[in-house]
Every structure is written in C-alpha cells, then in structure tokens.
Amino acid sequence: MTQQTDTRESQQAKAGAIIVPVTLFEQNCTIIWSEPSKKAVVIDPGGDVPKILEAIKQAGVTVEKIWLTHGHIDHVGGASELRDTLKVPIEGPHKADAHMLEHVVESGARFGMTGVRNFTSDRYLEEGEQVHIGELTFDILHCPGHSPGSVAFVSAAQRFAIVGDVLFRGSIGRTDIPGGDHCQLIASITDKLLPLGDDVAFICGHGPTSTIGQERATNPFLQ
Ligand SMILES: [Zn+2]
Ligand SMILES: [Zn+2]
C-alpha cells in the first residue's frame, strides 16, 4: 500500500519519504519529513484522506504543512478535508491554478469523486520563493505547461525534487486539458528541471520515481 524510501543524506539534515497512492488516478500523495524532528509535509493529498492519515500515523511523523504542486482534482481533492483535520496551512500551487481550487466539487463530479470541497490556498507560491519543513528547505520553480500554476519543490541539499505532473519517468505531463500548453511544458522542463543536475532524484505525480539524468538520456519527449 505504501512504499518506504529514504531520500539522500546531506551533511545537515536527513529526510524520509513515503508515497501513498490515492484516488482512481493512482496519484502519488507524498509524505516527506526531516530527521530527527519528524516534522512532516503532505504533498498533493488528492483524496482517500483516511488512508493518508493512517500512513502519517504509521510513519510516526507530525504533519505541519500541506503543499500542492498544481490544481488538478487528483492532487487537491482531499486538501481541504486534511487541512481541517490536521489544522495546518496549505501552501501552493502558483496562483495561476487558484480557480481550479475554487471548482473542486465541479471537477470531482466529472469523475464520480464525492466528499471533495472547494477551497483557497493559505499561500500561493512564486518562482524563487522557499518553503520549509523542519530543517529542510525547498526552492519553488514555477513550471507551467501541464497546468498554468504547476510548481516543483526542489531541495538542493537533498538532491531531491517533487515535480507533480510536469515530468514523469519516460513521459511528460498531458497538455490536452484546459490550461495545457505543450511548448510551455517543454520549456519548463528544459529551462528549469534539467539544469538541476543529473544526480537529482524526483517523485512524480503518477508512476515510478526517476532522476534528471535518466530522463535527460532516455525520455523520448526530450530528445
Ligand atoms: Zn495534473
Ligand atoms: Zn495528476
């Protein structure tokens, strides 16, 4: 049900992560925490909130924030419920996706997802800003193309990133949904993600993890 992985160790802080696949879209809701404080963030709680709460309990971490990579229903469907349950703020995505958060019920209805709620973020994120959890710092990259307000969370110290639906192992995000733009997506990947360095590992919104180096060498959409 959940996979346990350890992100790379740096001199200062250590981090842990688990992926909890949620919704019928098998979206990779990800819990990241810093060691030894066990302060944690839940990224993209798309739904199945009880399953996420169980994973938090099993990991023995204290969630202090919710981060969102973009506004699509499979990434945000459980965000409002989780915020109310845990009493923590929601950070992200970029404000260009704000209207999607205000229409979660409507989008959910299209996929038979009930119990979802419309909401607003406590903090929209801009290119170059930083967010923190415990001793960990993540830089924000605004990566439009899959959706106008997609952001990536990058920990330079951990050589690790969360990229949502921008880049996948062997594929890239869809651009055939409203707000999608193929050229913009390719530019986001080539101008912002690839320069992070080949050793940077990343978790994507769906499917297995990868590294920048592997995608640079083998991703058919980037050749
Ligand atoms: Zn998406
Ligand atoms: Zn998705």
Per residue in 118-153, pLDDT tens?
A: 999 999 999 999 999 999 999 999 999 999 999 999
Say how many Å lie between the CA of residue 164 and the centre of ligand 1: 7
- With a cut of 70, say whether residue 6 has pLDDT above it: no
User: Residue holding tokens 């969370």?
Assistant: 153
Rounded Cα gap, residues 51 and 208, in angstroms: 20
- With a cut of 70, say whether residue 56 has pLDDT above it: yes
Q: What is the pLDDT of residue 179?
A: 95
- With a cut of 60, say whether residue 33 has pLDDT above it: yes
- With a cut of 60, say whether residue 4 has pLDDT above it: no
- With a cut of 70, say whether residue 211 has pLDDT above it: yes
Task: Name 18's bridge partners.
Answer: 4, 31
Residues near 50 by beta carbon (within 8 Å), at least 6 away in sequence = none
- With a cut of 80, say whether residue 11 has pLDDT above it: no
Say how many Å lie between the CA of residue 220 and the centre of ligand 1: 20
User: 207 pLDDT band (50/70/90 cuts)?
Assistant: very high
Say how many Å lie between the CA of residue 207 and the centre of ligand 2: 10
Q: In percent, how much of the chain has pLDDT > 70?
A: 95
Ligand at minimal distance from the CA of 27 is: 2
Say how many Å lie between the CA of residue 210 and the centre of ligand 1: 18
Say how many Å lie between the CA of residue 33 and the centre of ligand 1: 24
- With a cut of 60, say whether residue 9 has pLDDT above it: no
